[in-house]
Structure formats: structure tokens, C-alpha cells
Structure 1
Amino acid sequence: MKKLLSSIPEAPMNVECMMNDLDFRSMMSREKFEELAQPVLERAKAPLAKALAEAGVSVESLASVEVVGGSSRVPALMRILRDFFGREPSRTLNATECVSRGCALNCAMLSPIFRVRDFEVIDAFPFGIQFTWEKDGEPTTTVLFERNGPIPSAKMLTFFRNQQFTLTAAYTEDSPLPEGFDRTIGTFTIGPPAHVPSDSEAKAKLKVKVRLNLHGVISVENAQQIEEEEYEETVRKAPAVVDAEPMDEPMAEAGADEKMNDAAAAGESGAASAAGPSAAEQNGQADAGSADAAGAAAAAAEGDAGPMEADAAAAAGPKPAAEEVEVVKKKRTKKLAVPHSAQTAGLSQAAVQALIEREAEYALQDRRQEETNEKKNALEAYVYSLRDKLAVQLRPFATESEVASLTELLDHMENWLYDEGEDEKKSVYVAKLDQLRAAGEPIARRHLEAAARPTAAAHLAATIDRLKAAATSSDAKLAHIPQADKDQVVTECDKAAKWLAEKQAAQASLRQTDSPVLTAEDIRKREGTVLRFCEPLLSKPPPPPKEEKKGEAKPEENVEAMDTDAGGAAAEAMDAGEEAPPSAGKGPQPTSVEEPMEA
């Protein structure tokens, strides 16, 4: 009525068999319907006011009001919306498809397969979530995610602990949960932290990241231990410049011993000037200077030109001194993963197993009920079917007493089905159905035998004629079969024909209401017996032909003819002036080669 009266001012109402097989018909106007539905329509104002209050906006601050859904076509509801918001609601969107289309677009935005234009969609979570933990032996509760806050969202919690602790997540008191719904979400266990003894006063700094995902599921994403450690770092200073001291030139006229002493002295002074003031601080550079001095002394001992090296060192001018280093202490932050686990609200394993068993029991009950209904329907269908057939098809095959007793039984069974047997067990319906079939099947069997017997008898007679014709035939294909086997086939066929004639005569002397003495199944069995006896005798394969012995000489005339043919071919080749082909069996013929003429 709501749908009809939304488009027309008056609509008919029809209720068939409302009471005592009486139908109800009347007319309902839109005004009368709105008057009757006024208490329900007034309830639409409460969620409107609640939505404005939770959003923190007023009616005056709204830019527009869009209405979607099938109920937006109800005139009374549109009038209530107009009075509440003080403006005409807009209906520019497809009222029945806009939500599904928006869901499809959001799915495409989330999917990595489809590429669509991104729209910023901020979804609000209608529930608030708070976390509770112990601090100094007392519980502390903090609302981590406010009600109607955006999702997805993540928050970071910082704790100072030296042992394992737990966080309990629950819905806030203002969350609109169903009546009796448990507000506890779950318990998250954090820790213990590493490298911190639980009995010490030192505490580790722990950071716990909590995430509320797009689906409104809360979880602890990770937990980290923050540690600060000192380390030493070597820093290089700017190098200083030192002037090199000039070296005295050795006298050219000095002897060999004097040259060697001067060269050694020049090497030591050069090493000292190269080492600079930091040679005493760094052992590596001091060792290098000693090696240079030793090399210079060796060169002087071997007779090298020491004054030339001294001149080169003097010409180089001032040299930079070795770099100085300084050890500086610094701090760095290291993050260590902390173990964490979650125990969300749910059923225990025993409770889950009990529910599984209960579900299996319900499924068994449903299957048992379905089977019971099937047997009940089968009994009802058999009652109607047998009654109809007993009046037409089965009437010639039943006696008057059988018809009367069976009709009475069918009436009694029908009355029982709609009275006492309305709700019975499966075994009861099966027993009743077997009782009816025991009374009706003999009559139905007579009818079936009367229809199938002539066809089976004609098929047996045709088989007998076919086998006898094959046994008495003079066909060359059957000439190899012994006459004794053919006589056995004829004898077996005559026995089967005689049996069929006797049984048909006995059946013809009975009435249709009597039990048959010849059934179609008996005729088919007799036909199978005849075929199993006769067909192997008539299908014997013929004996194989005699094989000629290998190496037997061929007739002489054939050989002579072959020789004549070969000789004729050679003669024809000679007449044509060509080389005759070699005769078969005579080997290759010599080839003549002409000698070249002398010049």
C-alpha cells in the first residue's frame, strides 16, 4: 500500500480467505494511510536530530539536503524532511543506485587493477575506542580513537617499562552498541623489553603503534624499544704547513768515506724534516721516516748521487705536515623489535567444538525432516495415483472384491494423512506406503504383463525363425559347420517354440484378473538360453587353408616364359642400337670403352 499510495491518491486492498473462506476487499486513500502511519512517520525526526547533534552542525549551516533511498518517494516523509530542515530536499541523485555505485567506485579506487580518478573519501568510525593499562599499580584509561573520528587512523603510545605489560581495548560508553553487547575488544600483551632486568630500577622506553584500519578493526601494528648509546668517532683536523730546512751540499773533492757519511746525514735530516712535529705522536709515520733514512743510507753506500737528492728536497720548498685526528663521543638511537601478541574477543576451542556439533545435529535434523516429507509426499501421491488408475487402467485386471477393499483402504489412508498422520515419523509413512503397495502392486503387475507379454513372445519367435533358417541354409559361408551341430540348433529351436506355444495356451485359458503363468521376463530368459546354446555352434570359424611348402619348384613353362621374355627384351634393345639390360640372374655385363684416336 505504501508503494501504491506514493503515486496514486487511492488504491484497492484485497485479502483472500481472510476468515472462514471469506475474502476482504476495500479501498484505502492516501490521507487515511498517513493518518494510520503517523506514529511511525514521527519516528523519522529522531535520527535527523541525532545526526545533526553528532556532527556538531545546525540546520542553518547546511548548504543542501540530499535524499536517497526508495522511501524518498513517500510524500509524507518528504513533507517531514521539508518541515525539519526548512527547505526543499534535493533529489538529484539516483535514489536506488547511488549507494551501490559509490561502493563500486570505492572498490575500484582500492583495487590495484583498476585505474580511476581518486576522490578523497573520509569515512567516520561510529564507535569510540579506549585503551586501559596499569601505571604504578593503578589502571589508567585513555580514549585513543574518538567517536566519529576518521578512519583509517594510527596512534603512537609511549611507555617506560622493565617488564611485560598488557593493553586492554574496549568500546567507549557512548558507543551505540546493541543491547547486551560486550564492550571489550581484546587484550594486547607487550614485552618484555630486551637488555633490561625486571628487578632493576632502570626502565626501557617502548613505543607501541596502534592502528584502526579501513574496516574498523583495531590492532597493535608494532612495538619498538628505543635505546640511546654513545660511540666514539675519529675526526680529522686541518693539516699544518712546515718549512723544509736547507741541506748542505757535500764537497765534490771529499773522499769516498766522507761522501757516505754526508749522504747518511742528509738522509737523517730529510727524514726528520718530513716527519714534522707529529712524528712522535704517530708510530706509523715515524716508521716510514726511518725506512726513508735507511733507503738513503743504502743508496749512498752503493755510490748513488746523494747531492742530487738533497738539491731536489731543497727545491721542493715547504711541505704539509701529517694530519691530526681527534676522538669525539656522539649518541645515536637504536630501535629494537619488542614481541607482542593479541587475544581478541572470541569463543574458546571447547565452545567452538560444541557449536560445530550442534550445527551438525541441526543439519541431521533437517535432512531427517526432508526425508520424512519426501515419504509423506510419496504416500499421498501413491494414494491419488492408484485411485485414478484403479478406475480406468487397472479396472479389467482387478476383481470386484479387490476393487472394493482397495478403495476402502485408499480412503482410510487419505483421511489418516490429513488427520492423525499430519506430523508423523518417517518410519510410519514408509510402513503405510508398503501396506498400500502390497495391495496394489499385484493388480498393476497383471496390467504390465498383459502389455509386455506379446512383444516378448514375438521377439522370441523371430529369434527362433532366424536361427532355424541359418541352420537349414545351404549358404557357402556355413558349409564348414558340421551337420550334427546344425541338427542340434534345429532341435533346440523346436523345443523353445513348443514351450512358448504351451505357455501361451495356458495363459490364454486364464482370466485377466488371475495371476499370469507366462511373464515377459520368463520369455526373455528362454530367449537368452536359446541364444547361448545356438550362436556358438553357428559362429564356428572355418578351418584355415593349407599352406604351400617353401622351396617348391615352379612349373617349367613359367620359367621358360620368363626366359623368353628376357631374351626378347634383349633382342629389341640390340635392334634399337642400345645396350641390352643385363638379364636377371646372369650378373652385370661388361662395358665397352672406345680408345682415343692417335693424333
Structure 2
Amino acid sequence: MSVIGIDFGNESCYIAVARAGGIETITNDYSLRATPSCVAFGENTRILGVAAKNQMVTNMKNTIWGFKKLLGRSFRSPLVQKEVQAFPFPVIEMPDGSIGVRVYYGGEEQTFSIQQVTAMLFTKLKEIAEAALHTKVCDCVISVPSYFTDAERHALLDAAAIAGFNVLRILNEPAAVGLAYGIYHQDLPPPEEKPRNVIFIDCGQSTTQVAVCAFNKGKLKMLSCLADPNLGGRDFDNELALHFAADFKKRYNIDPMNDKRAWLRLLTEVEKLKKQMSANSNELPMNIECFMEEKDVSARMKRADFEKLTENLLRRVHHLMRSCLQDSGLRVEDVHSVEIVGGSSRIPAIKQSIQETFRKPPSTTLNQDEAVSRGCALQCAMLSPAFKVRDFSISDVQMYPITLKWLGPDSEDGEMEVFPVNHQVPFSKMLTFYRKEPFTLQAVYSGNIPYHNPVIGEFKIDNITPTAEGESPKIKVKVRVNMNGVFKVASASLVEKKGAEEMEQDAASPSAMEETEDGKTPKSNTTVPNTNAASDDSQKNGPVGENDVPMDEKNDKQDQEKPNHMDGNGAEEGETKPERKGKKAKLVLKTVDLPITSTVCQLSKDVINDLVERESKMVMHDRQEKERIDARNAVEEYVYEMRNRISDDLQEFIASNDREKFMQFLDETENWLYDEGENCKKSVYVTRRQDLQKHGDPVVARKKEFDERPLCFDQLGGGLQQVRKALDLFAQGDEKYNHIDAEDMKKVEKALQEKEAWLDKAFNSLSNLPKEKNPPILAQQIRAEKQALDNVVMPILNKPKPKVEPPPAPKSEGGEAPSAESPASEAPDGASAASSKMDVDQ
């Protein structure tokens, strides 16, 4: 079982896997670690990843890129309208207000949603992982920017489901980087000591994120996290491109901004120039051949001019870092180190800004490109039962405040901020309402957020009726931001008061959960249902509290005050316990689960199932198309190879008339490939190649036989010489073979005579054979004769000599053999031990 972590970037994706006791990054089919976030469409197939990026300029209207910024957004969003202006491919509004892209695929125009395009990229990443690991891959953790909203996270989960992934968790990129940092540092302070504060700055292709984390041994707590969704490496590229576009318009009288293809080429070249300026402060050239209107253009720039040109962007980076530090409540002196990741963090001006802001040099102990994917792989291994990983808990923060709105009892609207900015995530809260009829809760993002639609979703709670006395029953609602950063109403329950006798009658009810009057729940087997479509929240390192529901102190206090109206956290008041003589009667509470209908920005199960089936069909079609193209390429390759060889090393092995016919067949096949054979089925190409091989393979076989025969004859002749030499030694009485029976040696001599006769005959039959004729004896037959000879003679010639038993030692006069351990002084006449042994031998 393999688990992977995916860094889903706007420009590139990285895949990391946990195996062999560590984390490693997977390379794709081009032996690259980075797989471009590009999806292209040909006439009959999809082109994904590196291949799609390589033909972006030539197939720009059918190549989709930059779609991460469109995921989960509405078409009329101002940010989307700004993004669409830079795309050369058509982007349209779907009937539900979402975004779609129109491409030419399968011989017709087709429209795909952003979730489908993202799923296509995930399909490619899954294919890369399975090819590298040689096993099926299903479980994964995918990273997202910290500013992603519920709609964007739901859209990502939908895309992953379409691709066949089981997402164990969506992990914010700063948290992934923090995990990759913290789990490998064994010198972190213990929990009872002051934590180590580390700042992580992630400057990516389209986003800059700054996070302040507090580390203790085995624990990460996010203190603050800020992001600028519209500040990244591409913005630096755009500033350079605009500068050079104005320069080219002035000097060459061309405007690249009016030509999408020229603009893409310019962006590619200025990105290369930007990387060169990061390593070199001298003035550097930029040259583009045949840029527009068949004109070659050139320009020059040095790092100082680049920094002046992008001064406003650098100022935004500085402001983001200062704001994040201020939100965390820390001083510069409290910061242990500043870690940088992301490709754009290599810009020297950004490093200098970090130095000036935090008075510390930026640290590059993490892999700037792969840190996010490695953190995701670690988290996936922690959540998978197949791996044993060191315990390390992650406490993230809520990026935007979440407010809950509702309609009051007297048609009065009410609202409450349930999760403020930088609130701990994952986290649950229990709210109490008083209602006589079903009601709806609306969750929205409050405050200043850079999004067109602040609504998260609506949650309708049904099956609410008045009590027997006509009063409003007590409704407890559990709201939660789960480990994926998704808000949901986890459960709703109606609390009924009942006496002990009534409870005994209802004890068999499977949906009831008992509570005492003070609100504390005794142990029971009741399970709170998960009514939302989001992923399971169970996490071994999550916070715990009453009923495994984390509650803050303010919420507990408000629940204990028990006001007689709904204020967001209200409860009942005026409850009394009935008394009996001699024994106090206990009033108990019965809790009944209520159904919740959620309306969120998420695809329904039926729609996802249809899209899964459609994606599976496209994957199958891609596989069949690849096999068809491979078969066609095999025919084309065979034509070119045999044409060259027939005129070169195979020329002597084919008759002149056969060569002319074969060359004509090869030329006809080549013309057929580029005419009526352009789009044939795989079986047609296979049949065509087999017809070619009927002519070419015998020629190749004759050449192969001609090359192998001399070696085979040498091996057989050498074996015969060795056997003849052994027979001569036997005849001379050589001690090497004097233990072999004469009958066995006759068998050896007979085998020798038979093989020598066969060799003479074979050699004579092949000596005058023309090269263009098929040989009557093949190299394989010669090897078989050599093996037959070895099978007969080798067991005889290699027969081991019989072992000779050593003679028994003579006995002494006393009837006992002399001891080998007798000292030399005991030898007769004072002789040495050695001379004593010599006397015995005599």
C-alpha cells in the first residue's frame, strides 16, 4: 500500500511518497520532479503534464493552464474576469454560474468544467505515481493555499473524487511546510517550555503566504497566517513583459499585447531572464528570433533596473510580512528563524526584504520546491494505518471569520461569529436554539475578504415540533470546521425532558442519547451521524473535550447561564427537579437526532458519478489512442530502419531482385502512412508491420546467423580438442584419468568421433553457401551439438577420484597407540618427537 502527498501548484505539481523509512519525490515520465499544471487536447487524445506544456504555444487555444485560480469560483467574480483576460483559450459561463472551458476534442467542440480539468491533471499525477511505485495508488493528501474558501476546497475534493483519489486530508501549504520542518528537528523544546517560533515565507508562482508557527516537541501550533492571492512570481514576469512590450512597440513598431502567441513567448523569455538576474547582477541580454511579423527582437536589463521596476510588488511583500508578525503578537526578538520556500523566494530583493524586516538572514534548510509535497506525504503516512510515524500534532488557524445567521422566533434576524480570524482548526462548537418549527442556518464569511460571494452554505434543520405544553423545545446544533478547513453543521439534536419511568420505556430507542439535567452525557453507544458530504473528521491529534467536541470557555459559560431566548448559545432556565418523599426523583433528558439538509457549493453524488464515468471513458480512450499511435510509430520506425540497413549491413544478405521488391514495399508503406493510413486502427498497423517483417526478418536472421556461426563453431571445435586431449592422456596412463573405466572412455571416444564427423559435414555445407541463402544449419543447432557433447563426456571426464583412507596408526609395546600429545622429552634415548615418529614409520 502506497500513500502520496501532492503539492497542487498553479504552475507545477510535485508528488512525494513515504517509503523505505523516508520521504522521496517521484519523477515523471520525462525524469522531471515538477509536472506542469497543464492540460491540452488534441484531435483524438488528451495531452497532460510536460507534453502539454511543450506545445502550449503551438496549440494555445486547446491548452488549459492557470486553472487553479478558477477552481470553485463563479464566472462573474471580478478576480475571474481579470484572470480570463490573459488566457488564449475560451472561458465561458456555465448554466449554474460556474466556469467552463471550451476546447476542440474528439472531432468536435466540447466544454469541460474546472473540476473536470483539474481531475484530468490529477489522473496524470496518479498515473505517474503508480508507474513509479508499481502499485495502485488511492490515498493521498493534497495541499491548498491557506486562503482557499469552502467552495474552492469542495471543488478540489470533487476533482480528486473524479480522478479516483481518496483524499485523507486537504492540508494548507503553510501547515505542510511546518510539518516538513518540525518532524525532522529533534532539538525542539519540550511541551512545558517556551515554544520555538519560526516564520515560513512561501513565495510561489501566483501567491505569497506568510505564516508564524510555534513549535514544541511533537507539536505545531499556527499563530498567524496571511496570504496575498495576487502576488507571486508571475506578477514579476508581467511587470517585465509590460516593460519590454512598451520597448518593442517603440523600437520595432510591434505590440505583443495584441498577439496572444507573441505574449506567451515573451512571458517565457522574461521568466528565463528573471532567473538569470537572480544569479547575476550584470546587465543581461534577451533575444527572441522571429518574434512578430518575422522580426527578431532584443533587449537588455540588469538586476537594479528589475528591482526598481518591481518596487511596488516588493513593497507588498514587505507589508505582508509585517502584518503577519503583528497578528501573531510576537516581537522580532521572539522569532527563532525565518524559513523560505517557493520558487520566487530566490529573488535577491525578497531575501533582502526578509533580512530588513526580521533582522535575520533567511534560512534555506528546506527544499524550496518540494517542501510542501514532502509535508503532505508525511501527513498522509500519519493518517494511513499502514505506516508508523512519529506523533506530531498540527493545529492550524481559520483564515477568515465565519458568521452564522438565522431567523429569530419573531421574524427577527440573528447572527453570531462562531469562528473568528486565526481560530484553531479543526474545532467544533455546540450552539443551543429554541424553535417550534424547522429553521435554516446560513454560514457566511464576514469581514474584509477578497471574494465575490461570501456565502458558505445553508443548513436546514427539520422534524422540529412544539412540546406537549406548546413550548419551544431545546435544539442543540454542533458546528465544526473540519480537518479539511471546511465548515459544516455536523449534527443537530432535540432535547426532551422525561422522567425515569418514561426513559425506561424509551431505552431501546437506537437514535436516542441520554443526558443528565446538567448537560453531561454519560457513557453510551450512541453515534452522532455525519450528515455532511465532507470527509471524516476523526484525527488522532485533534483537540478533545466533552463528547469529543472541543468547547471554548465562553461557550460553556453562556450555556450554563441558560437565558430564556435564543442568543446563539442559550439554554433553558427555571428547570426544577421533582421530589418524592424519602427519595429525590431524577429528571433526565432524551436527545433525538434531527435531519439536516445542506446546500453548499459542492457537486451532488449523481453528478460526480457521471463525471467519474466520463473520465474513465476518456482514460480508456487515451490508452487505446496511445497504443494505436505506438503501433503506427512501430511501422514507421521499421520502414526507416530497414531502408537504411538494406543499403548498408544487410545488403549482402538479400538477393538483388528481392531487395528491389522489398524497397518498393517500404516506399509504398511510407506513402500509405501519410495518406490513407494516417488514422487507422491498431490492428491495421499490426498487420502491416507483420507483412513487412515477412520480407525483412529472414534477411535480418541471415545476418544474425552469419555473425554468430564462427563463435559457435569455435566453441564446438574447442570442446572437441579438449576431449581429444583427455583421450590421449588416458592412453598414456596419466594419473588424472587413470581412475576412469575403459568402457566409459570408449563412450567418450565414440561421442568425439560422431561430433567431429558432424562438424566436418556442417562446415563443408556452409563453406560455399551464398550469404543471401538461408543456411541449412543454424547457430542454435551448433550450440545444441556442443551441449550434447558436454552432456556425454563431461560427467565421465570430471568424475572425481575415490578417496584413499589413511593407514591405521601402529600400536606401542604396551598395546596402546602412542599419544599424539606426548611431550618430546618422553621419546626413547632422549630423541625428539619428530625423530620418534620417523622410527615408528620405519
Which residue matches 2:201? Answer: none
Which residue matches 1:93? Answer: 315
Change in 2 beyond 3 A, CA 1:417/1:36: closer
User: Distance between the aligned counterparts of 2:627 and 2:406, measured in 1?
Assistant: 55
1:287-337 residue CA offsets vs partner (Å, 9 max, x unmatched): xxxxxxxxxxxxxxxxxxxxxxxxxxxxxxxxxxxxxxxxxx9xxx99987
Change in 2 beyond 3 A, CA 1:7/1:531: same
Which residue matches 1:160? Answer: 434
Which residue matches 2:759? Answer: 500
User: Distance between the aligned counterparts of 1:123 and 1:506, measured in 2?
Assistant: 88
Match of residue 450, structure 1, among 685, 700, 706: 706
1:218 CA drift (Å): 2.8
Amino acid at match of 1:456: C
Which residue matches 2:531? Answer: none
Structural RMSD (CA): 5.6
Amino acid at match of 1:167: T
Cα pair 1:171 1:184 within 8 Å, conserved: yes
User: Distance between the aligned counterparts of 2:659 and 2:421, measured in 1?
Assistant: 82
What stretches of structure 1 of length at least 5 have no aligned partner? Answer: 14-25, 41-71, 79-88, 234-328, 574-599
User: Distance between the aligned counterparts of 1:485 and 1:571, measured in 2?
Assistant: 53
Please say if 1:203 is aligned against 2:472.
yes
User: Distance between the aligned counterparts of 2:486 and 2:690, measured in 1?
Assistant: 60
1:181-238 residue CA offsets vs partner (Å, 9 max, x unmatched): 9978353537869xxx8444133344546567898733336768534433699xxxxx
User: Distance between the aligned counterparts of 2:817 and 2:468, measured in 1?
Assistant: 127
SS at match of 1:10: helix
Cα pair 1:383 1:413 within 8 Å, conserved: yes
Cα pair 2:712 2:783 within 8 Å, conserved: yes
**1:347-358 aligned within 5 A:** 347=603, 349-358=605-614
Structure 1 window deviating more from structure 2 (337-346 vs 385-394): it is: 337-346
Match of residue 775, structure 2, among 498, 516, 520: 516
User: Distance between the aligned counterparts of 1:339 and 1:370, measured in 2?
Assistant: 53
Change in 2 beyond 3 A, CA 1:141/1:515: farther
Please say if 1:374 is aligned against 2:630.
yes
User: Distance between the aligned counterparts of 1:561 and 1:35, measured in 2?
Assistant: 113
Match of residue 441, structure 1, among 688, 693, 697: 697
User: Distance between the aligned counterparts of 1:357 and 1:337, measured in 2?
Assistant: 42
SS at match of 1:230: coil
Match of residue 463, structure 1, among 705, 719, 725: 719
1:484 CA drift (Å): 1.6
Please say if 1:169 is aligned against 2:448.
no
SS at match of 2:772: coil
Which residue matches 1:3? Answer: 240
SS at match of 2:619: helix
Which residue matches 1:86? Answer: none
TM-score by length of 1: 0.52
Which residue matches 1:185? Answer: 457
Cα pair 1:186 1:342 within 8 Å, conserved: no
1:482 CA drift (Å): 0.6
SS at match of 1:463: helix
1:137-196 residue CA offsets vs partner (Å, 9 max, x unmatched): xx98766679xx957599986532367x35353769x99988xx9978353537869xxx
SS at match of 2:736: helix
1:115-150 residue CA offsets vs partner (Å, 9 max, x unmatched): 779x9x99556xx977566969xx98766679xx95
Structure 1 window deviating more from structure 2 (357-366 vs 480-489): it is: 357-366
SS at match of 2:688: helix
Which residue matches 2:745? Answer: 486
1:371 CA drift (Å): 1.5
1:355 CA drift (Å): 3.6
User: Distance between the aligned counterparts of 1:101 and 1:394, measured in 2?
Assistant: 75
Change in 2 beyond 3 A, CA 1:534/1:187: same
User: Distance between the aligned counterparts of 2:828 and 2:792, measured in 1?
Assistant: 69
Change in 2 beyond 3 A, CA 1:343/1:523: farther
Aligned residues: 395
SS at match of 1:6: helix
1:553 CA drift (Å): 7.3
Which residue matches 1:593? Answer: none
**Rg larger in 1 or in 2?**
1
Change in 2 beyond 3 A, CA 1:175/1:403: same
Structure 1 window deviating more from structure 2 (356-365 vs 414-423): it is: 356-365
User: Distance between the aligned counterparts of 2:489 and 2:659, measured in 1?
Assistant: 82
More helix by share: 1
Cα pair 2:408 2:414 within 8 Å, conserved: no
**1:8-407 aligned within 5 A:** 10-11=247-248, 27-28=252-253, 90=312, 92-93=314-315, 124=400, 131=405, 159-161=433-435, 165-169=438-442, 185-189=457-461, 198-206=467-475, 208=477, 210=479, 217-220=486-489, 226-227=571-572, 228-230=574-576, 339=593, 342-344=596-598, 345=600, 346-347=602-603, 349-407=605-663
User: Distance between the aligned counterparts of 2:619 and 2:259, measured in 1?
Assistant: 43
SS at match of 1:229: coil
Change in 2 beyond 3 A, CA 1:418/1:104: farther
User: Distance between the aligned counterparts of 1:460 and 1:444, measured in 2?
Assistant: 24
User: Distance between the aligned counterparts of 1:441 and 1:99, measured in 2?
Assistant: 70
User: Distance between the aligned counterparts of 1:336 and 1:166, measured in 2?
Assistant: 21
Match of residue 536, structure 1, among 778, 783, 795: 795
User: Distance between the aligned counterparts of 1:405 and 1:100, measured in 2?
Assistant: 76
TM-score by length of 2: 0.38
1:527-578 residue CA offsets vs partner (Å, 9 max, x unmatched): 01111111112222333446879xx97376997999xx99x959999xxxxx
1:411 CA drift (Å): 0.6
1:360 CA drift (Å): 2.7
Question: Higher relative contact order by CA 8 Å / sep ≥ 6: 1 or 2?
Answer: 2
Cα pair 2:812 2:818 within 8 Å, conserved: no
What stretches of structure 2 of length at least 5 have no aligned partner? Answer: 1-237, 264-304, 339-357, 359-396, 496-570, 831-842
Structure 1 window deviating more from structure 2 (149-158 vs 351-360): it is: 149-158
Match of residue 811, structure 2, among 546, 550, 554: 554
1:470 CA drift (Å): 2.0
Change in 2 beyond 3 A, CA 1:560/1:507: closer
1:510-543 residue CA offsets vs partner (Å, 9 max, x unmatched): 2111111121111001101111111112222333
User: Distance between the aligned counterparts of 2:326 and 2:685, measured in 1?
Assistant: 56
Cα pair 1:151 1:216 within 8 Å, conserved: no
Amino acid at match of 1:512: K
Change in 2 beyond 3 A, CA 1:402/1:341: same
Which residue matches 1:429? Answer: 685
1:488 CA drift (Å): 1.4
User: Distance between the aligned counterparts of 1:484 and 1:500, measured in 2?
Assistant: 25
Change in 2 beyond 3 A, CA 1:561/1:488: closer
User: Distance between the aligned counterparts of 2:680 and 2:655, measured in 1?
Assistant: 33
User: Distance between the aligned counterparts of 1:382 and 1:417, measured in 2?
Assistant: 12
Change in 2 beyond 3 A, CA 1:479/1:557: farther
